[in-house]
Structure formats: structure tokens, C-alpha cells
């Protein structure tokens, strides 16, 4: 009996507070709605953040395939990475187009604009959303750079081991380097360093 009354009391308390919570939800949701001008940029950055997360996962799978010498898995990872990079390049074009329009509306030179300067000039709700996206993007890009560096170092070590093995097999002291990492991973990512800077 006591437990039933306690449960009913909890339900009654929840019911009393429910209207207040319902009234607050639309206001909280409205406060996070971006302005029409910055909404396209926010959508682009949110999509880029998601794609960089995908790219980070694919690069991890790529490294695992290299370590395990699973060529079919490596081929799949490389193909998926190319697809994601193509989509990122498309988003980059859209972001540059938005940046040109943003600068034109204000009569300023777009070459000096960065995401940090746009965040600083934005109203509070937009500024909070953009700052969160900025931090998420930079974090994932830093993680991707580190993983790319590790994968590149691993590939270079493998190629160096192949060179040494061939050298001893051929028993030729004049034997030069057989393989070079011509196809090394790009040190630069698709992300524009102009827009994504470090001033926030």
C-alpha cells in the first residue's frame, strides 16, 4: 500500500511539473534556431563535422587493414575515403560560395574572413552554435591529422623493410632504394585553413 501511494505521489508531482516543462521547451528550441543568414553555413559545417567523423573511422579501418595486410579491406577503405573526400570538396565549394555572398552583403573582402571572425560578429544564439561546430571540427581534424601521420609512418616503415629484404636477397651493395612512398598521404586536408583558423 505504502509503495503504491509513493508511486502515485511521484506521478502526481511529475504531472504538476509537466506543464511548466512543456512551456519551456518551445522557448529553448526557439533560442537555438539559427538566423536565416547563417543557417546555410551552420548546415554546411554540421555536415562537414559528420563527414570528418566518417573519415576518421575510415582511416582507422584503413590503418587496421595495413597492419593486418588485408588488401581487400584496404581497397574498400580507400574507395570509401575517396567518396567522403569528394563530398567534403563539394561542401567546401558551397562554403566558399556562402562566404562570398556573406562578404558581398557587407561590402568586405572575403579573403580576410575566418570562421573565428564570423563567430565574433554573430548574435549570441548563432555564435554558440558556430562555436560548438568550430570546436568539433578542429578536434576531428586534429585527430585525423594524427592518425594520418601514424598511418604514413607505418607505410614508410613497411616500404623500408621491403627495401632491406630485397637488398639482402639480391646481395648487391650497390643496390639502391627500390620503393619510395610516392603515394604518401596528403599532409593537408580538404578543409580550408582560411576559414578554419585558431583564433577561437
Tell me if 30 is assigned to some domain.
Answer: no
If we measure between CA atoms, which residue out of 38, 179, 169, 25 comes closest to residue 105? 38
User: Does position 44 have pLDDT exceeding 90, yes or no?
Assistant: yes
DSSP line for the chain: -HHHHHHHHHHHHHHHHHHHHHHHHHHHHHHTPPPTTTHHHHHHHHHHHHHHHHHHHHHHHHHHHHHHT-HHHHHHHHHHHHHHHHHHHHHHHHHHHHHHHHHHHHT--GGG--HHHHHHTS-HHHHHHHHHHHHHHHHHHHHHHHHHHHHHHHHHHHHHHHHHHHHHHHT-TT-------TTPPPSS-SS-TTTS-S--
- Its sign, for the CA torsion 51, 57, 60, 65, is negative
Average pLDDT over residues 96-122: 91
Tell me if 132 is assigned to some domain.
Answer: yes
Q: Give the confidence band of 195 by pLDDT, cuts at 50, 70, 90.
A: low
Tell me if 46 is assigned to some domain.
Answer: yes
Q: Which domain holds residue 106?
A: 36-200
Which tens digits make up the pLDDT trace of 138-185? 999 999 999 888 888 877 777 776 666 666 667 655 544 444 444 444
Comparison of pLDDT for 193 and 33, the residue scoring more: 33
Pick from 26-40, 65-79, 126-140: least confident? 26-40
Tell me if 78 is assigned to some domain.
Answer: yes
Tell me if 28 is assigned to some domain.
Answer: no
**CATH number for the domain that contains residue 156:** 1.20.58
Q: Specify the number of domains making up the chain.
A: 1
Tell me if 43 is assigned to some domain.
Answer: yes
Residue 10: the pLDDT is: 44
Relative orientation angle of helices 39-68 and 71-106, to the nearest 10 degrees: 160
**Distances from the Cα of 122 to the Cαs of 2, 119, 132, 133, 142, in angstroms?**
56, 5, 13, 14, 25
Burial label for 116, CB within 10 Å (0-12, 13-18, 19+), is middle
Tell me if 162 is assigned to some domain.
Answer: yes
Q: Give the confidence band of 68 by pLDDT, cuts at 50, 70, 90.
A: confident
Residue 166: the pLDDT is: 67
Tell me if 26 is assigned to some domain.
Answer: no
Burial label for 180, CB within 10 Å (0-12, 13-18, 19+), is exposed
Amino acid at each position: 500500500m505504502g509503495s503504491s501511494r509513493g508511486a502515485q505521489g511521484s506521478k502526481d508531482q511529475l504531472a504538476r511539473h509537466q506543464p511548466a516543462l512543456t512551456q519551456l521547451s518551445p522557448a529553448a528550441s526557439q533560442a537555438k534556431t539559427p538566423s536565416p543568414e547563417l543557417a546555410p553555413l551552420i548546415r554546411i559545417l554540421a555536415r562537414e563535422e559528420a563527414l570528418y567523423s566518417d573519415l576518421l573511422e575510415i582511416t582507422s579501418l584503413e590503418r587496421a587493414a595495413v597492419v593486418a595486410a588485408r588488401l581487400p579491406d584496404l581497397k574498400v577503405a580507400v574507395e570509401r575515403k575517396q567518396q567522403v573526400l569528394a563530398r567534403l570538396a563539394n561542401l567546401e565549394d558551397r562554403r566558399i560560395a556562402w562566404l562570398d555572398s556573406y562578404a558581398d552583403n557587407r561590402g568586405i573582402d572575403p579573403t580576410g574572413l575566418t570562421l573565428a571572425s564570423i563567430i565574433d560578429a554573430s548574435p549570441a544564439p548563432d555564435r554558440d552554435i558556430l562555436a560548438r561546430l568550430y570546436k568539433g571540427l578542429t578536434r576531428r581534424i586534429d585527430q585525423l591529422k594524427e592518425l594520418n601521420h601514424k598511418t604514413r609512418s607505418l607505410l614508410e616503415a613497411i616500404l623500408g623493410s621491403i627495401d632491406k629484404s630485397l637488398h639482402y636477397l639480391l646481395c648487391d651493395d650497390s643496390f639502391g632504394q627500390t620503393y619510395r612512398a610516392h603515394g604518401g598521404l596528403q599532409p593537408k586536408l580538404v578543409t580550408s585553413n582560411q576559414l578554419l583558423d585558431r583564433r577561437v
